[in-house]
Structure 1
Amino acid sequence: MSQIKTVLFLLTLLIGGLQPLHAEEVSLRVVTEELPPYNMTVSGKLTGFSTEVVEAVLAQAGLKGTFQSMPWARAYDTALHDENVLIYSIARIPQRDLLFKWVGVIAPAEWGLFSTRARDISLRTLEEARSYQIATVLGDVGEQYLQSQGFSTGLNLQSSNTYEQNYRKLKHGRVDLWIANAVMGKYLARQAGEDWNDVMTLAYPLTDFGRNEGLYMAFSNQTSDEVVARAREGLEQIKRNGIYEALKKKWL
């Protein structure tokens, strides 16, 4: 009889070990970049509009995560290849559709090619931009988009690690154009004590650029569907209960 009990006990342990983890037991790695006012490190703490939205979504969904800010190329690579990774403030374009499990839009965005007011470059077509030097961020959606249109780094694209570097490069005349999100650009201008409309102008609007609903949060494909579903519901809940609008008023 004792042998039977022992076998049953071992079977119970084995079956229990094969049970899937519940969403609340999963430890998420949450990655992003420095992209103010969406995500930014202030006094050693990662904050910003998108950061607080994601924190609210996880709290609503009963999920826990460790947040990290890093260069975009590394954050993107981490979300591509590791399990249980959440990446946020990411633009959704067709080339990325199958690479991640998308949760939903967490922030507005206004994409375009920008010139300084002093240069006042105006383009009728994207093709006309090929004769200019354009600032991009390594691995970000703007760079990927232009590369998909035949632009290339070293020829007409100058890649940097941060958007702040590109803002300065454009102001100082080291590039002619900057592919950027105006929401972020306006914040950088305010931080520099400048009025965006005084120093920058829209050279070419990217109205057909990817999905224009805004920036997303998304999971690595190696994340369970249960976790993704919980996050999707959490996002819908904070948009219904007023938390999202309150954060939008606070930051934007």
Structure 2
Amino acid sequence: MLKNLRKVLFLGVLFVAGAARAELSEDYKVVLLTENFPPFNMAIDDKNFARDEGIDGISADLVREIFKRAGIGYTLSLRFPWDRIYRLTLDKPSYGLFSTTFTEERKPLFKWVGPLAKSEWVLMAPPGSTIKVASLADAAKYNIGAYKNDAVSQHLESKGLKPLNSLRDQENVAKLMSGKIDLWATTDPVGRYLARQEGVSGMQIVLRFNAAELYLALNKDTPDEVVERLQKALDTLRAEGYVEQITNNYL
């Protein structure tokens, strides 16, 4: 009887282990969301909504290839605003979001694949500005514009600053040029790219205050198998030089 009990327990363990590593169903798909965040992800027609091949950029091209290599299905949409798609990914299983800045505060909120790319957090002043700051503490006396629920804005708030948040990062260009804000907290090279799109060149970077890595953030209920396959595909692409090649195509 003891022998039979051991056999039953052994088979039970095998069943549980097999179920935990069961293959994904053929119709499994990740709902990928992104935003206009050039040159990493952007609508080809510069609008605030796009699907599939209407989206390009460093991260968009890379994510497509990652999913292709991993053999995992997906749909891809570019939407607005960031705050909405960020919350959708937090709340809905099988959702993913990029390019998402990885931070310690966000770490437990998602499952992560990356890094896809690197960037810097900066304070920008308009052309001809005489503002000089040595730290974020120095900058606190100025009106600082930022992008709502973006990692840069969240970081400023964690440091006790009170940025004036906009729903579109592009809005901060006009605010900066009209004097509604003194400084713009954004990501480089994104900020310079957006400013050029609005017809403004010669933006001054007055402070670099963080180096950041951009990731694909997946809802916490995403199966570990999906995360592992995607990360393995990315690591392989990086080893092949594919990531560097895509980056050089845009920068």
Normalising by structure 1, report the TM-score: 0.83
Q: Secondary structure at the match of 1:34?
A: coil
Q: Which has the higher contact order (CA 8 A, sep 6+)?
A: 1
Q: Would you say 1:163 and 2:172 are equivalent positions?
A: no
The aligned counterpart of 1:187 is 193
The aligned counterpart of 1:33 is 35
Q: Would you say 1:118 and 2:128 are equivalent positions?
A: yes
In the alignment, structure 2 segments of 5+ residues that lack a partner are 1-14
Distance 2:87 2:192 in 1: 28
- Structure 1 position 251, deviation (Å): 1.0
Q: Would you say 1:236 and 2:239 are equivalent positions?
A: no
Cα deviation code 1:102-154 (max 9, x no counterpart): 111111202111111322311122112221111111111111111111123xx
Normalising by structure 2, report the TM-score: 0.83
Query: Would you say the 8 A contact 1:89–1:217 is kept in 2?
Result: yes
Distance 2:156 2:107 in 1: 17
Note the aligned Cα RMSD (angstroms).
Answer: 2.0
Aligned to 1:79, which of 89, 101, 106?
89
Cα deviation code 1:186-213 (max 9, x no counterpart): 2224434554xx2x11222113xxxx35
Q: Secondary structure at the match of 1:109?
A: strand
Distance 1:121 1:250 in 2: 34
Distance 1:23 1:54 in 2: 21
Residues 1-252 of structure 1: pairs in structure 2 closer than 5 A: 20-22=22-24, 25-43=27-45, 44=50, 45-70=54-79, 71-152=81-162, 157-192=163-198, 194-195=200-201, 198=202, 200-207=203-210, 212-252=211-251
Q: Secondary structure at the match of 1:74?
A: helix
Distance 1:233 1:226 in 2: 11
Distance 2:242 2:33 in 1: 22
Same amino acid, percent of matched pairs = 31
- Give runs of ≥4 in structure 1 deviating > 4 Å: 18-21
Q: Secondary structure at the match of 1:237?
A: helix
Q: Secondary structure at the match of 2:108?
A: coil
Larger mean CA deviation between 159-168 and 227-236 belongs to 159-168
Distance 1:131 1:149 in 2: 13
Distance 1:151 1:24 in 2: 48
In the alignment, structure 1 segments of 5+ residues that lack a partner are 1-14
Distance 2:148 2:25 in 1: 33
Relative to structure 1, the CA distance from residue 213 to residue 140 in structure 2 (aligned partners, 3 Å threshold; closer, same or farther) is closer
- Structure 1 position 90, deviation (Å): 0.8
Size of the aligned set, in residue pairs, is: 225
